[in-house]
Amino acid sequence: ELHYADRLNCASALLDEPIGRFGADRPCVRGGDTAWTYAQLRRHANQVSAVLTGELGLVPGNRVLLRGANSPWLAACWLGVLKAGGVAVTTMAMLRAAEIATIGALARPTIALCDARDVADLHAAAIRGLRIVPYGGDTAGDLTARCSARGDDGGAFTDVATAADDVALLAFTSGTTGRPKATMHFHRDVLAIADTFARHVVAHRPDDVVTGTPPLAFTYGLGGLLVFPLHAGASTVLLEHPSPDELADAIAAHGVTALYTSPTMYRALLAPGRPERLAGLRRCMSAGETLPAAVWTEFHERTGIRIIDGIGSTEMLHVFISAADDDIRPGATGRPVPGYHAAVVDDEGHPVPDGRPGHLVVQGPTGCRYLDGDRQENYVRDGWNVTGDTYLRDADGYFWYQARSDDMIISAGYNISGPEVEQALVGHPDVVDCAVVGLPDERRGMLVTAFVVLRAGAPSDENEIHVLQDHVKQTIAPYKYPRAVRFVDRLPRTSTGKLQRYRLRRQGIR
């Protein structure tokens, strides 16, 4: 069992402990033209805390919205918010105004720290009472300038002595309905994911150089690319939306030893000319969607590396089932991470016999606490977190993924809500009705596919497909757009008008 002090600020621990063990001049974080040591990251985080609590008037418990691509400054902002006793609400730079507005309405942040390149949509979201401070730009009032104006004195901030179970962050997950859900995580939870998955499965070393693709706004990225490297005294390379070639180049150029990404990227890294650039890797982690055994095997044959697959969730903060090294069974997700318990149960919550599919439930040092209380009782039952995934456990205790129990589409590592894409599509005047489902796809795992009923007289040609795709990209985050669009005369519905998605999925597979 894990024990933490009653008073615990995880951001202080993540910086002070490695500095105490390995010294302050150790390389810590790189990104773009920036390369900071542990001392420099701590100084910038302290400057952010000082600006927040000084001129911006933050008091402990206030929520601070963070918006930007992965970068050293985003890391400094995240740590600075937590050191100041604030609650970090990290959002993806790709989100559009309407999506940010929804998050703003739920999280009610008082301050936003936003990459200067991404402020337009945040302003357009018009979140009531929100003070927006850009960083990394050149305007007066930019956070970066405010921090340098504080000089080294800003680096002497005294961290707020938060309680171990004070909320440190709100993480958003988009539900099947497209209505985002906010989950709350404590300071101790942030250390618990490092003391379980990172310590016992990944087994980071202080000389690791870590990189990867998930945004820090996704808890898979927050853990893998920031919390775990700091906890181990290692260093991290934060890349902004790298293409497969950019990722392979960065791995070679920075001597990266540990990679966090998704099956889609592992597949892409196998293309000619790329595996040679991966020679320095010793640990490769995969999550966000299931890793097909074929990808695991091909990656192993070409690079000698055994990918560590895992399932986690925003609700649980990070990975709770996984396996490494000789414990891996390709195609299986693994076994419960030390500290977690998992079971497969029927609709009534009773365990099903090994070898039979059922609902995956999990317990451990982290767990789901929805901000919006009425959802809690559906997710946590009898102390078990009901993940919404269908799994089976074999006689050796390995867990094998079967399907999502709901309508989420998991495409190239992104969780995309079909109903949310539908809402965006029906906002176009040519669309009378539509349904969006995920169809199996070799490259992306699932392909976001829209079945669209057009208004009479609207053209049903290639150009119209592009028009509708562009419309979705303008309305919601572009990665959610339907990559396949099929025009149909009507959608399959029950007599009460309920959409029968399973019929579309079947139709798509034919």
Comparison of 9 and 313: residue with beta carbon closer to ligand 3SK: 313
Q: How far apart are CA 210 and CA 214, in angstroms?
A: 12
**Span near ligand 3SK by CB under 6 A; candidates 237-245, 248-256, 305-313, 365-373:** 305-313
Query: What is the distance between the alpha carbons of residues 166 and 54, in angstroms, rounded to a whole number?
Result: 22
CB of 220 or CB of 340, closer to ligand 3SK: 220
State the SS3 of 238-250.
CCCCCCHHHHHHH
- The reply on whether position 312 binds ligand 3SK by CB under 6 A is yes
Give the CA count within 13 Å in the CB-facing half-sphere of 448. 25
Q: Is 103 in contact with 89 (CB distance < 8 Å)?
A: yes
Q: Look up residue 399 and give its amino acid.
A: F
Tell me the closest approach of the beta carbon of residue 463 to ligand 3SK, in angstroms: 36
| β-strand partners of 453 | 433
Q: Which residue has the tokens 């000319």?
A: 273
CB of 209 to ligand 3SK, least distance (A): 21
| Identified binder of ligand 3SK from the candidate list 46, 47, 144, 313, rule CB under 6 A | 313
CA–CA distance, 172 with 477 (Å, rounded to integer): 14
Instruction: Give the list of residues 6+ apart from residue 173 with CB closer than 8 angstroms, or none.
Output: 180, 181, 183, 313, 314, 315, 415
- The reply on whether position 201 binds ligand 3SK by CB under 6 A is no
Q: Name the minimum Å distance from CB 491 to ligand 3SK.
A: 29
Calculate the alpha carbon distances from 5 to 163, 173, 185 in Å: 8, 29, 16
Under the binding rule (CB under 6 A), the answer on residue 358 touching ligand 3SK is no
Site for ligand 3SK in 211-240 (CB under 6 A): 219-220
Q: Which is nearer to ligand 3SK, 363 or 469 (CB)?
A: 363
Q: Is the dihedral of CA 285, 286, 287, 291 positive or negative?
A: negative
- The residue among 134 and 221 lying less far from ligand 3SK, judged by its C-beta, is 221
What minimum distance in Å lies between the beta carbon of 366 and ligand 3SK?
Answer: 10
Candidates 25-33, 203-211, 312-320, 343-351 — which segment interacts with ligand 3SK by CB under 6 A?
Answer: 312-320
- Separation between Cα atoms, residue 163 and residue 186, nearest integer Å: 9
H helices within 84-172, ranges in order?
97-107, 119-125, 143-150
Tell me: does residue 192 bind ligand 3SK (CB under 6 A): no
Q: Does 44 bind ligand 3SK (CB under 6 A)?
A: no
Residues 6+ apart with CB under 8 A from 174: 180, 181, 408, 415, 416, 417, 420
Residue 318 binds ligand 3SK (CB under 6 A) = yes
CA Rg value for the chain: 23
Beta carbon of residue 12, minimum distance to ligand 3SK (angstroms, whole number) = 23
Question: Distance (Å, rounded) from C-alpha 310 to C-alpha 290?
Answer: 8
238 CA to centre of own chain? 14
Shortest distance in whole angstroms from residue 263 CB to ligand 3SK: 11
How far apart are CB 157 and ligand 3SK at their closest, in Å? 29
Q: State in angstroms the smallest separation of the CB of 214 from ligand 3SK.
A: 8
Q: Which of 155/178 has CB closer to ligand 3SK?
A: 178
The least CB distance from residue 318 to ligand 3SK, in Å, is 5
136 or 288: CB nearest ligand 3SK:
288
Interaction between residue 288 and ligand 3SK (CB under 6 A): yes
Contact status: 319 vs ligand 3SK (CB under 6 A): yes
Report in angstroms how near the CB of residue 319 gets to ligand 3SK at its nearest. Answer: 5
In the complex with ligand 3SK, which residue's Cβ is closer, 281 or 308? 308
229 touches 206 (CB < 8 A): no
List residues binding ligand 3SK (CB under 6 A): 219-220, 287-288, 311-314, 318-319
